[in-house]
C-alpha cells in the first residue's frame, strides 16, 4: 500500500494512544517503510519521535552487520593462570539501547549523553538492574541486513526484550528499507524476513511516496537556508515536480532538493546573483532529470526578489550572514547599473543607509556551545562589499571610498589589538 508521510503519521498515531491512567497502549503490529532514498522514511519517523517527545535511536545496518550489533555480546573469554581459555556469560547491553541516570540532587531522570547512553550507568536500588526509558527505535537499511540480523531485530521488536533486559513499555519500533527490486539496488539482500512482508507478517509494510509538503516544511525549518530560497520553495516547489513518477526516482527527491537549497544559500546566490557556477550546482543535483534542472533555472530568473533599494530602505531585514551577502550583492548591482547608465551613483541619504547596513552585527546561522548565535565580523562584511564593488567596477568611485577606509581601519585596529598581547 502506498502512503504519503502525512498519511503515515495519521496511521502511526492511531496505533499509539495515551490512556486515561497515563499508560500508553500500542497496537500489536508495527510499521515497516519501503521507499527509494530521499522519500523521507527516516525524516517521518524522526518527526513522530518529536511529536511523542521521545528520543530517536537509529540502528544503522549494512551487509557486514551481525546479530551482536542488535543484542550485544553474550559472552566474554580470558585465559586462566594455567593458560586455559575460560568463557563465561555476560549481558552486555547493545550500544543503541537508550538509558537514563538519576541526578543525585534533584532525583530527576536525566538522559545520558551520546557517549554513555548505551551503558547502564545507573541501576535500580531494589532490583540492581539498569532501567531503560521510552524511545523510538528505527532499524535503517533493513534490506541490506543478513537474514539472521533481520530475525534478531524482529524478535527484539516483538518481545521488547534484549537478553535479560526488558525494554520500556512505551518503546516504539520502526523498520525502513529500499525495495530490492528497485533499479540500482541489485546488490541488496533479496531475502526480506517473512515476519515483515509475508502473509502472516507481524509488521505492516507500507511504501512511502514523495510528498511536497514534507519537503517544504523541512526547508522552511532549516536555519541554514536563506529567506530568498524559502520564498522560492513556497512558490515553485509544487511546480518543479522534483520526483516525477516517469523517472527512476534515483535522482530527484526531497533530500536532494534541501541539500541544494543549503548549498545555494551558503554561497549567497539569488536571482540577481545566479551565474554559471550556480547553474552547474543545480544541474549536478538534478543530474538524472534535465527537465527539472532547466525548469528550476527558469523559475530562478523569473522570481521577484528584493531590490537594492529594499535593502537600503530597511524594507527587507536580513537575519543571517548569507542574507547579508545577498543584500550586498543587490546593492552593488543597483549602483553598477546606475554607473553604466551614467546616472548619479549614490546619494548622501543612500550613503548613510549603506553605512548603517554594514555597521550592524549579523548572525552567521551557527551557534556557540552555550546556544548564542555566532555574529559576523565587520571586516568580513566590508570584505564582501569590497569584492562586490570590484565586480561592478566601482572600486575607484569616490562615493564608495568609505568602504575601503573602514575595511583598512578595521584591519589596522585588529593588528594593534593583537600586538598588545
pLDDT tens-digit series, residues 327-347? 888 888 888 888 887 777 888
2-97+132-208 — its CATH code? 3.40.50.300
pLDDT band (50, 70, 90) for residue 115 = very low
pLDDT at 210 over 70: yes
pLDDT value of residue 93: 61
pLDDT at 162 over 80: no
Q: Hey, is 138 helix, strand or coil?
A: strand
Per-residue pLDDT of 57-91, as tens digits, reads 888 776 667 777 777 665 555 567 776 666 554 55
pLDDT value of residue 347: 85
Per-residue pLDDT of 123-150, as tens digits, reads 566 766 666 677 888 888 777 777 778 7
User: How far apart (Å, rounded) are the C-alpha atoms in residues 271 and 390?
Assistant: 20
pLDDT at 357 over 90: no
Name residue 72's beta-bridge partners: none
Q: Are 274 and 301 in contact (CB under 8 A)?
A: yes
pLDDT at 170 over 80: yes
pLDDT value of residue 130: 60
Give the residue-averaged pLDDT of 85-113.
61
User: How far apart (Å, rounded) are the C-alpha atoms in residues 357 and 164?
Assistant: 64
Q: Are 45 and 55 in contact (CB under 8 A)?
A: no
Q: Hey, is 332 helix, strand or coil?
A: helix
CA distance readout (Å), 159 to 35, 95, 108, 156, 301 = 26, 19, 28, 5, 57
Q: Hey, which of 96-100, 145-149, 177-181 has the most confident mean pLDDT?
A: 145-149
Q: Are 221 and 5 in contact (CB under 8 A)?
A: no
Amino acid at each position: 500500500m502506498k502512503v504519503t508521510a502525512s498519511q503515515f503519521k495519521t496511521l502511526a498515531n492511531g496505533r499509539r494512544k495515551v490512556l486515561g491512567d497515563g499508560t500508553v497502549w500500542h497496537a500489536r503490529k508495527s510499521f515497516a517503510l519501503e521507499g527509494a532514498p530521499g522519500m523521507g522514511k527516516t525524516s517521518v519517523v524522526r518527526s513522530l519521535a518529536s511529536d511523542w517527545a521521545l528520543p530517536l535511536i537509529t540502528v544503522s545496518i549494512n551487509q557486514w552487520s551481525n546479530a551482536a550489533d542488535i543484542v550485544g555480546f553474550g559472552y566474554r573469554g580470558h585465559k586462566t593462570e594455567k593458560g586455559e581459555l575460560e568463557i563465561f556469560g555476560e549481558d552486555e547491553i547493545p550500544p543503541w539501547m537508550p538509558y537514563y541516570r538519576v541526578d543525585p540532587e534533584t532525583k530527576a531522570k536525566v538522559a545520558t549523553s551520546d557517549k554513555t547512553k548505551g551503558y547502564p550507568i545507573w541501576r535500580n536500588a531494589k532490583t540492581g538492574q539498569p532501567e531503560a526509558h521510552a524511545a523510538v527505535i528505527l532499524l535503517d537499511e533493513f534490506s541490506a541486513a543478513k537474514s539472521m540480523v533481520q530475525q534478531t531485530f524482529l524478535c527484539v521488536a516483538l518481545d521488547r526484550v534484549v537478553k535479560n533486559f526488558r525494554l520500556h513499555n512505551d518503546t516504539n519500533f520502526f523498520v525502513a528499507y529500499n525495495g530490492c527490486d528497485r533499479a540500482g539496488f541489485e546488490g541488496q539482500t533479496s531475502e526480506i524476513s517473512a515476519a515483515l512482508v509475508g502473509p502472516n507478517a507481524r509488521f505492516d509494510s507500507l511504501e512511502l511516496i514523495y510528498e511536497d509538503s514534507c519537503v517544504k516544511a523541512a526547508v522552511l525549518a532549516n536555519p541554514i537556508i536563506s529567506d530568498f530560497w524559502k520564498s522560492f520553495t513556497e512558490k515553485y516547489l509544487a511546480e518543479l515536480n522534483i520526483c516525477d513518477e516517469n523517472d527512476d526516482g534515483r535522482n530527484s527527491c526531497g533530500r536532494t532538493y534541501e541539500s541544494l537549497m543549503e548549498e545555494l544559500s551558503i554561497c549567497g546566490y539569488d536571482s540577481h546573483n545566479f551565474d554559471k557556477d550556480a547553474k552547474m550546482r543545480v544541474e549536478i543535483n538534478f543530474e538524472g532529470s534535465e527537465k527539472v534542472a532547466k525548469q528550476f533555472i527558469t523559475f530562478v530568473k523569473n522570481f521577484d526578489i528584493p531590490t537594492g533599494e529594499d535593502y537600503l530602505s530597511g524594507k527587507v531585514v536580513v537575519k543571517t550572514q548569507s542574507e547579508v551577502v545577498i543584500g550586498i550583492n543587490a546593492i552593488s548591482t543597483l549602483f553598477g547599473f546606475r554607473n553604466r547608465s551614467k546616472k548619479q551613483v549614490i546619494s548622501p541619504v543612500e550613503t548613510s543607509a549603506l553605512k548603517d547596513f554594514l555597521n550592524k552585527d549579523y548572525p552567521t546561522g551557527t551557534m556557540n556551545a552555550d546556544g548564542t548565535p555566532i555574529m559576523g565580523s565587520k571586516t568580513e562584511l566590508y570584505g564582501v562589499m569590497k569584492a562586490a564593488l570590484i565586480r561592478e567596477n566601482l572600486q575607484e568611485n569616490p562615493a564608495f571610498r568609505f568602504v575601503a577606509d573602514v575595511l583598512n581601519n578595521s584591519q589596522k585596529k585588529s593588528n594593534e589589538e593583537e600586538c598588545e598581547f
